[in-house]
Structure 1
Amino acid sequence: MSNEVIPPSNDRLRSQYDEHVMPIWKELDVPVKRASGCTVEDFEGNEYLDVFSGIAVTNTGHRNEAVVEAAKDQLDDLVHSCSYVHPNRPVAELAERLAEITPGDLRKSFFCNSGTEAVEGAIKLARKYTGSTEVVALEKSFHGRTLGSLALTGNAAYKDGMAPTINDVTHAEPPYSYRCPRCEGDCTADCADHIERVIGTHTSDDVAAVVVEPVMGEGGIIVPPEGWLERVKEIAHDHGALLIVDEVQAGYGRTGELWASDHFDVVPDILTQAKGIASGLPLGAFTASAEVADAFESGDHLSTFGGNPVASAAALATIDELRDGIVANAREQGAWLSDRLADLESRFDAVGEARGLGLMQGVELVDPDATGPEGVAPAPDADLAKSVSERLREEGIVMGVGGYYKNVMRFQPPLTIEREQLESAVEALETAIEVEA
């Protein structure tokens, strides 16, 4: 083996990934050397405005100073002890803080490493508390990629070649107004009654939980109508089940409120969280009322690295930063962004719909000359979305593409983004649509 040190470069990094890292999503393909605030920089000194935040993770901005300092300080005291064997201060304080900031009477948290683990843990807790086994999730939803959470995810594209291990999962239709064949673009709270029909026709009525995202991220930034989430909770409780609200992507200020469920005045029975919780350090959690949480007995659930002290210290600093004006900025900039994206919708036939809350916004691109699979909206145009994303990257903008049909441009920037930065991203998107559509 040669001892020659090869300096890092964009090409070198890509080569190393090709040779030694298992297949990854390459659509953005911007090698990152460093990041700060809302920008990332590659190894050739090129800077990009990041309006994707590592998939809605760096809510407080890349390398937020207070978060970095909190993590560094904790490294000097304790890196690891297994928080479920040896109690430590950061985990205790974080659990107490979550009891203060989560909705309603949610009081006890379990800490893990990711959103996927949080969702799977929440399902275990719901099963233990209710004594039931079946779970209802939504079509076009996303809850993770491990086998258990993948069973909940309502998208075959993520399941191809896999065999989910949770067999008792049934899927109901999502509140996707733009492509709803029954509502023809105007879903109401009554759409939640499809969950009632699914329970009555596709389950044995032994339901432990109904799992929903308050805003569906990977599904295409789908916002439910007023009253829908409240009705879902009623249906779940009518069948002796718990409502699990998956705030992994929508939580921690992303929608202009600390929790997306706050927009709908609904208190879930279990709330899952990750992504923005620690500004980029790996951490996840699920939080429940004391009554529900106490269904777990010692040994029912465990995580070697869950509640890592360093990540927990970063999470405490993240919460402080968010509550010190960052969530308010997301709300303010999000209102402006909604208006600007609505203008794109009115001006371009290729923009089928612009939608979202706060700084979780989506622009659905379509082929106006073809009818979509539901027969009530123009056909999704994934090719256009891909070409728009590539053009944006050439112009120094990192913007995600998602949605069930891979045709939704995703605005999910750091919540610290300034108006001038946001405007430049919108203008770049406008130009890209003009050129590519």
Structure 2
Amino acid sequence: MTLKVSKHCISSIIRRYSANSNSTSCQPGGPINYAGPMFQKTEQLKSENFPPVQRNFYKKPLLLHQGYMQWLYDHEGRKYLDLFGGIVTVSVGHCHPKVVAAMQEQLKKLWHTTSIYRNPKIYEFVEKLVAKMPGKLKVVYLVNSGTEANDLAVLLAKLYTGNHNIISLQDSYHGCSSAMLGLTSTQSYRLPTPVPAGYSHAMLPDPFRGIWGGCRDSISQVPGSCSCSGDCITSDKYIHQLEEHVINNIPISGAAAMFAESIQGVNGTVQFPKGYLKKAQQLIKEYNGLFVSDEVQTGFGRTGDAFWGFENHEIMPDIVTMAKGIGNGFPMAAVVTTMEIAEAHNKAAYFNTFGGNPLACTAGKAVLEVIDEENLQENCKVTGKYFVEQLMQLQKVYPVIGDVRGKGLMLGVELVVPGTKDPLNASDVVDIMEKTKDFGILLGRGGRYSNVLRIKPPMCIKKEDVDFAVSVLDQALKEFMKTYKSD
């Protein structure tokens, strides 16, 4: 394979790419002139009226005001290829015409009623959603965010099992409410306050940084890893550690649940050794617990081979939580479970003011239709494979790339001190991301050491977008390595 990187300078790449993509990269009628507050005014308002914990993502912050499909535009009219999708949230594309049209039509009819009444959109959406769910996963709670979905899943697990202990994996992220800070095991999100009792975190089975390594469900493997034809041989070692964790942390009555993402998102696209989740589910069942699959980032076809990430692991969860891509950016989330588990919730009253909102359900229904009509799951598979292959070629050129991983259009590039596995200094990662932003692509950042470039674009991107992105990464890393070598 040949790396698809232009021999021309990056400015020429950007000009040529922009010219070739202008016809499809902006809304009908072209880019809109910015009419909001001046950049300096936003700086003042942010400083005086927003909490300081909401930090700037870039050294020179972006003021974005328009988006279309895989593109975003800033207040000066600059165009950016969005490879982070609003933190893995824009699934079918910014301002997708079909979703926009559906929302506009619904805006004229009904905005809000709450779920205490019936409205047609909630039924139309739920019917389409459960058609995507396997087995007995047919009962849907509609809520507003991934945090809220996971909080409700904890409640359901405790009510159904009568147990109270919840297990998640180290370095996981499941939300940052006061309760979910117990489930989340990422230090950068843990505040110095007590969390509810009953949460514990099992060893993370990480093929790149884990003590036993392992092979994963990706065309890119850790250098020197095993290459098992079925379940990875290391999965049993990690499962042994999980059982030790259960024995030492869970009362004899058993657990309420184990939570796991199919691929860890905030932690930098960490995949588990093949077979781990299947065995983890079997183990938690032996201790009377439910298995909850957090599909907030991995659902809706993003991993390519399957609509839900858990299907890649050949498991049937008891509860599935989902958000982000479910509404393509409209605030929306869901918990899907079985009727048997839902019946345990019937011991008191429950309602959700905004869950099942007609606008949210309109967006969700349109998103599901677009995914099918535009074959976006297949695009994730094909374009994602091509993306990984190109990133693997970059890895051969730049020793600062320690690992390339992921599946479909959920990818990660872990940056390291060349010649080691030591994480690259966070300030260096920020410098690289600043360069890629200035060259016209937007990436995410994650991992325990904030050294992983997170690539989770709208699922509509094409191979030419990948070529552009890889060209930009090539140039950014080339410039970084020149400076790094001279330090």
Q: TM-score, normalised by structure 2?
A: 0.84
Alpha-carbon deviations, 1:325-362, whole Å to 9, x = none?
11111111001011111112222211110000111100
What is the SS of the residue equivalent to 1:219? coil
5 Å-filtered alignment, 1:28-427, equals 28=58, 29-83=61-115, 85-164=116-195, 166-183=196-213, 186=225, 188-190=234-236, 191-205=238-252, 206-256=254-304, 257-297=306-346, 299-324=348-373, 325-368=375-418, 377-427=421-471
- Alignment partners' CA distance in 1, 2:72 and 2:450: 24
What is the SS of the residue equivalent to 1:267? coil
Checking the alignment, whether the CA contact within 8 Å between 1:326 and 1:416 is kept in structure 2 is yes
- Alignment partners' CA distance in 2, 1:270 and 1:287: 6
The gaps in structure 2 that reach 5 residues or longer are: 1-34, 215-221, 226-231, 482-487
Checking the alignment, whether the CA contact within 8 Å between 1:368 and 1:379 is kept in structure 2 is no
Question: Could you tell me which residue of structure 2 aligns to residue 16 of structure 1?
Answer: 45
Checking the alignment, whether the CA contact within 8 Å between 1:129 and 1:292 is kept in structure 2 is yes
Alpha-carbon deviations, 1:22-55, whole Å to 9, x = none?
2313114311111111111111111111111100
> Per-residue deviation at 1:299?
4.0
Alpha-carbon deviations, 1:128-161, whole Å to 9, x = none?
1111100000100000111111111111210133
What is the SS of the residue equivalent to 1:177? coil
Change (3 A) 1:300 1:351: farther
What is the SS of the residue equivalent to 1:207? coil
What is the SS of the residue equivalent to 1:378? coil
**TM superposition outliers: structure 1 runs of 4+ over 4 Å:** 184-187
What is the SS of the residue equivalent to 2:157? helix
> Per-residue deviation at 1:70?
1.4
What is the SS of the residue equivalent to 2:433? helix
Structure number having the greater strand percentage: 1
How many residues in Structure 1 have an aligned counterpart in Structure 2?
424
The gaps in structure 1 that reach 5 residues or longer are: 1-5, 371-376
Change (3 A) 1:183 1:50: closer
> Per-residue deviation at 1:10?
2.8
Checking the alignment, whether the CA contact within 8 Å between 2:300 and 2:326 is kept in structure 1 is yes
- Alignment partners' CA distance in 2, 1:189 and 1:317: 39
- Alignment partners' CA distance in 1, 2:187 and 2:131: 38
> Per-residue deviation at 1:380?
4.1
What is the SS of the residue equivalent to 1:353? strand
Residue type of the partner of 1:279? N
Residue type of the partner of 2:211? P
- Alignment partners' CA distance in 1, 2:42 and 2:80: 18
Change (3 A) 1:189 1:277: same
Checking the alignment, whether the CA contact within 8 Å between 1:244 and 1:271 is kept in structure 2 is yes
Checking the alignment, whether the CA contact within 8 Å between 2:206 and 2:273 is kept in structure 1 is no
Change (3 A) 1:354 1:59: same
Change (3 A) 1:98 1:76: same
- Alignment partners' CA distance in 1, 2:65 and 2:38: 9
What is the SS of the residue equivalent to 1:71? helix
Residue type of the partner of 2:408? G
- Alignment partners' CA distance in 1, 2:239 and 2:129: 29
- Alignment partners' CA distance in 1, 2:290 and 2:142: 20
- Alignment partners' CA distance in 2, 1:161 and 1:59: 34
Residue type of the partner of 2:127? E
> Per-residue deviation at 1:14?
3.0
- Alignment partners' CA distance in 2, 1:433 and 1:406: 17
Question: Could you tell me which residue of structure 2 aligns to residue 373 of structure 1?
Answer: none
Alpha-carbon deviations, 1:138-194, whole Å to 9, x = none?
100000111111111111210133332x21001001121100123476563212332
> Per-residue deviation at 1:223?
1.1
Checking the alignment, whether the CA contact within 8 Å between 2:423 and 2:449 is kept in structure 1 is no
Question: Could you tell me which residue of structure 1 aligns to residue 21 of structure 2?
Answer: none
Checking the alignment, whether the CA contact within 8 Å between 1:326 and 1:415 is kept in structure 2 is yes
Residue type of the partner of 2:158? R
CA RMSD of aligned residues (A): 1.7
Checking the alignment, whether the CA contact within 8 Å between 1:388 and 1:432 is kept in structure 2 is yes
- Alignment partners' CA distance in 2, 1:383 and 1:255: 30
- Alignment partners' CA distance in 1, 2:365 and 2:285: 33
Checking the alignment, whether the CA contact within 8 Å between 1:366 and 1:379 is kept in structure 2 is yes
Change (3 A) 1:252 1:158: same
- Alignment partners' CA distance in 1, 2:247 and 2:349: 31
After TM superposition, the structure 1 stretch with the greater mean CA deviation from structure 2, 57-66 or 299-308, is 299-308
Alpha-carbon deviations, 1:370-424, whole Å to 9, x = none?
5xxxxxx333432322111011111121111111110000111100012111211
Alpha-carbon deviations, 1:83-103, whole Å to 9, x = none?
1x1122111222222221023
- Alignment partners' CA distance in 2, 1:229 and 1:271: 14
> Per-residue deviation at 1:430?
1.7
Checking the alignment, whether the CA contact within 8 Å between 1:103 and 1:262 is kept in structure 2 is no
- Alignment partners' CA distance in 2, 1:99 and 1:183: 37
